[in-house]
Chains A and B, each alone.
Chain A
Amino acid sequence: MIEVQDLTKYYGATLAVNRISFHVARGEIVGFLGPNGAGKTTTLKILAGFLSPTTGTARINGYDCFTESLKTRRSLGYLPETVPLYPDLTVTQFLQFAARAKGVDGRRAKTEIDRAIADCGLKEVRQVLIGSLSKGYRQRVGLAQALLNRPPLLILDEPTIGLDPSQIVEIRQLIKELAGEHTVILSTHILPEVSQLCQRVIIINRGQIVASDTPDNLSRQLGGGSRISLLVKGPPAEILAGLRTLAGVREAAAVGENRYLVHTQNGDDLRPQLARLVVERGWELLELKSQEFTLEEVFLNLVTEEEA
């Protein structure tokens, strides 16, 4: 559905996006992750046809996002990061304009607008001027215009910012429902959102892709083995020494009162051996669990490695 090849964008002399390439298949939900200024928004703007790339190409359904942008724009719904809206129009007037601009007219426009209003929870404000809406409502109006006519491709730049927790859950649910038939690219700062929603994560830093995989794979691979947390009662020095001598342990550390963290080599699961060791030495085992690396840690790892 989306093919991006060696995409580069300069703003004057500033390099915003540096030769990035990626593919997105139909029906995928892909998360764009990266610190501020990493080039996420620029990439999305190029895909939406608002900016032109300096070099490289971005294609949607085989059409170039710049030279054939009218064709690519027909198949996408775009929510810009800043959620620009017309303050002098009411929600319904604005959605009517958006529907007409997308070539939806007449009765179909009405059903589409009603559906977008229902999906985004805008029923009670449909006749209110956009200028007097709260941030959360404005965000939802932005989403509603992107969802109008259910485009095959949705490009959402930070779709859940400014929403309250229950709305966030609703919107995430909505995005999940769209998957399958619709392709969704979303950028976000919120890492749990990515692990919940996205089948694939593309991490960008300083204009370059530093990782692209499923959230689970990223946590596993980049964690470099797994961690096991133990809660053991006994003499701390002895316990630490004992843990360190066990085969397969890369590193062991005390992280709190009676709590120890064991890093294993090659991602082996050492829980049985650890349990045996503790029992054999006569210490008291209170808790034993394996810990996966969270996406936060992976992300920080990748981004700080780059900078180091």
Chain B
Amino acid sequence: MSGVLAVIRKELTIYFSTAIFYITGFFFLVLGGYFFYSNLVYYSLLSFQGGQNPQLAALLNPHQMIFRPLFGTLAIVFIMMVPLLTMRLLAEEKRSGTAELLFTYPLTDWAVILGKFFSALLVYALLLLFTLSYALLFASLAKLDWGPILSSYLGLLLLGGACLSLGLFASSLTENQIIAAVIAFALLLLIWLIGWQAELDTSGLSGFFAALSMLEHFENFIKGVVDTRDLIYFLSFILFFLFLTKRQLESRHWRA
């Protein structure tokens, strides 16, 4: 456990002392702010029209019209951003040779993997925390239903964990950060969109593809539904890729 903490502290120090975190964080918040703003403007426009049209007014719901599309778009931005946060984690240790130090300290492979995973998750959670300002801002102006907001954040956190574990695995495959980022990005996009296959598929596997898709499982959270199937999907996704990472790290012993 102390080993995990040691790795977390080291990784966080590196995250906060290099530019990559600040740059990705900055642009993430710029994009998030823009999406929130445009959704909000559109909503207020509809609200004006709703004043004259009681049928439309009944359909107006700030969560469905502002936050649900906002979180849906943010998830896509995260998928593009995650490879940038994870590409360094193991690839750089291998390239610079510091893996030789790391793995000759009395740290277990799991301590290294979990330390790196949780440090990335903390950085991600910090960025999420900033986006909470949109909800707070809205709540200061109008009535906001916090339930679906919280379930959305739970979904975003799990989605982030899943993407980061996959990114960590991609980083364990190579010494090159760019290659690690490309692998992570391609796999994430594939898993995100594999649900599309469900709609086109005629071979009877559509249920299988839908169950595999991250998008399908994430959608429930931003609707405000916390389903154990989705929880289990994300948690097993995370464990699966952490396990693959562990296996990949072990391969250093028999590959020279």
Which residues does chain A contribute within 8 Å of B9, judged by CB atoms?
A: 96-97, 100
How many residues of chain B get a CB closer than 8 Å to chain A's CBs? 27
Contacts of A32 in B (CB 8 A): none
Expressed in whole angstroms, the Cα–Cα distance for A70 and B107 within the complex equals 7
Q: Is A45 an interface residue (CB 8 A)?
A: yes
Of A23-31, A85-93, A257-265, A298-306, the one with at least 4 CB within 8 A of chain B = A85-93
- B254: which A residues are within 8 A, CB to CB? 52
**Of the residues B18, B106, B256, contact of A51 by C-beta under 8 Å:** B256
List A contacts of B107 (CB < 8 A).
101
Choose from B17, B98, B108 the contact partner of A70 (Cβ within 8 Å). B108
Cβ of A145 under 8 Å from chain B? yes
Q: Which of A74, A80, A96, A105 contacts B106 (CB 8 A)?
A: A74
CB neighbours of B202 from chain A (8 A): none
B101 close to A73 (CB less than 8 A): no
Pick the most buried of A9, A87, A97, A105: most chain B CB atoms within 10 A of its CB: A97
Return the chain A residue nearest B100 by Cβ: A80
Is the CB–CB distance between B100 and A45 below 8 Å?
Answer: yes
A70 cross-chain contacts in B, Cβ below 8 A:
106, 108
Contact B106 A102 (CB under 8 A): yes
Residues from chain A with a CB closer than 8 A to the CB of B7 are: 101
**How far apart sit A100 and B108, CA to CA, in the bound complex (Å)?**
13
B158 to chain A, nearest CB (A): 29
* Contacts A52-B253, A52-B254, A84-B98; A101 near B13 (Cβ below 8 A): no
> Does residue B50 face the partner (Cβ distance < 8 Å to A)?
no
**Inside 8 A of A101's CB, which chain B residues have their CB?**
3, 6-7, 102, 105-107
Q: A49 CA to B105 CA in the complex, in Å?
A: 9
Q: Are B103 and A50 in contact (CB under 8 A)?
A: yes
A130 CB to closest chain B CB (Å) equals 11
Complex alpha-carbon distance, A157 and B6, angstroms: 25
A245 and B5 alpha carbons, distance in the complex (Å): 78
Among B6-42, those with CB < 8 Å from A are 6-7, 9-10, 13-14, 17-18
| Closest CB in chain A relative to B251 CB, distance in Å | 11
Bound form: Cα–Cα A70–B111 in Å: 12
- A89:B100 contact, CB within 8 angstroms: no
B203 to chain A, nearest CB (A): 43
Q: Does A36 contact B (CB under 8 A)?
A: no
A73 to B104, CA, bound (A): 6
Which B residues between 81 and 126 are near A, CB-CB below 8 angstroms? 96-108
CB contacts under 8 Å to B, within A103-145, are 103, 105, 145
Q: Which of B18, B98, B101 has the most CB of A within 10 A?
A: B101
Q: Are B101 and A145 in contact (CB under 8 A)?
A: yes
Q: Is B228 on the interface with A (CB-CB < 8 A)?
A: no
Complex Cα distance, B16 from A89, in Å, reads 10
Q: How far is the CA of A85 from the CA of B99 in the complex (A)?
A: 10
* B140, CB-defined interface residue at 8 Å: no
A45 to B252, CA, bound (A): 12
Question: Do A50 and B106 form a contact, CB below 8 Å, given A86-B14, A88-B18, A89-B10?
Answer: no
Q: Which residues of B contact A295 (CB under 8 A)?
A: none
- A50–B98 CA distance with the chains assembled, in angstroms: 11
Q: Is B2 interfacial (CB 8 A cutoff)?
A: yes
Point out the residues of chain B lying under 8 angstroms from A103, CB to CB. Answer: 2-3, 106
Interchain nearest-CB distance for A150 vs B (Å): 15
Within 8 A of A (CB), among B48-106: 96-106
Closest B residue, CB atoms, query A87: B96
Please provide the chain A residues from 1 to 52 with a CB less than 8 Å away from any CB of chain B in the complex: 9-12, 45, 48-52
Would you give the 0/1 interface string for A145-167, flagging 1 where the beta carbon is closer than 8 Å to chain B?
A: 10000000000000000000000
| Nearest CB of A to B231, in Å | 33
User: Are A80 and B13 neighbours in the complex by a CB distance under 8 Å?
Assistant: no
**Contacts A82-B97, A89-B13, A101-B6 given: A66-B253 contact, CB under 8 Å?**
yes
Q: Output the nearest chain B residue to A82 by Cβ-Cβ distance.
A: B97
Task: Tell me the smallest distance from the CB of A112 to a CB of chain B, in Å.
Answer: 14
**Chain B neighbourhood of A145, CB < 8 A:** 101
Contact A100 B2 (CB under 8 A): yes
Complex Cα gap A119–B66 (Å): 61
Instruction: Kindly list chain A residues whose C-beta atoms are within 8 Å of the C-beta of B98.
Output: 84-86
Q: Which residues of A contact B256 (CB under 8 A)?
A: 9-12, 51
CB of A222 closer than 8 Å to a CB of B: no
A98 within 8 A of B: yes
Give the CA-CA distance A9 to B103 in the complex, in Å: 19
A100 x B106 contact (CB < 8 A): no
Query: Which B residues are CB-close (under 8 A) to A82?
Result: 97, 100
The CA of A179 and the CA of B54, in the complex, are separated in Å by 89
Cβ–Cβ contact B253 & A84, under 8 A: no
Q: Using A78-B104, A89-B14 as known contacts, list a sample of 7 further A-B pairs with CB atoms less than 8 Å apart, ordered by residue number in A.
A: A12-B256, A48-B104, A84-B101, A85-B98, A85-B101, A88-B13, A103-B106
Listed from nearest, the 3 A-B pairs whose CB atoms lie closest are A84-B97, A100-B6, A101-B105
Interface on A for B, CB 8 Å cutoff? Answer: 9-12, 45, 48-52, 66, 70, 73-74, 76, 78, 80, 82, 84-89, 93, 96-98, 100-103, 105, 145
A-B contact pairs, 7 of them (CB 8 A): A48-B100, A70-B108, A76-B104, A89-B14, A97-B9, A100-B9, A105-B2
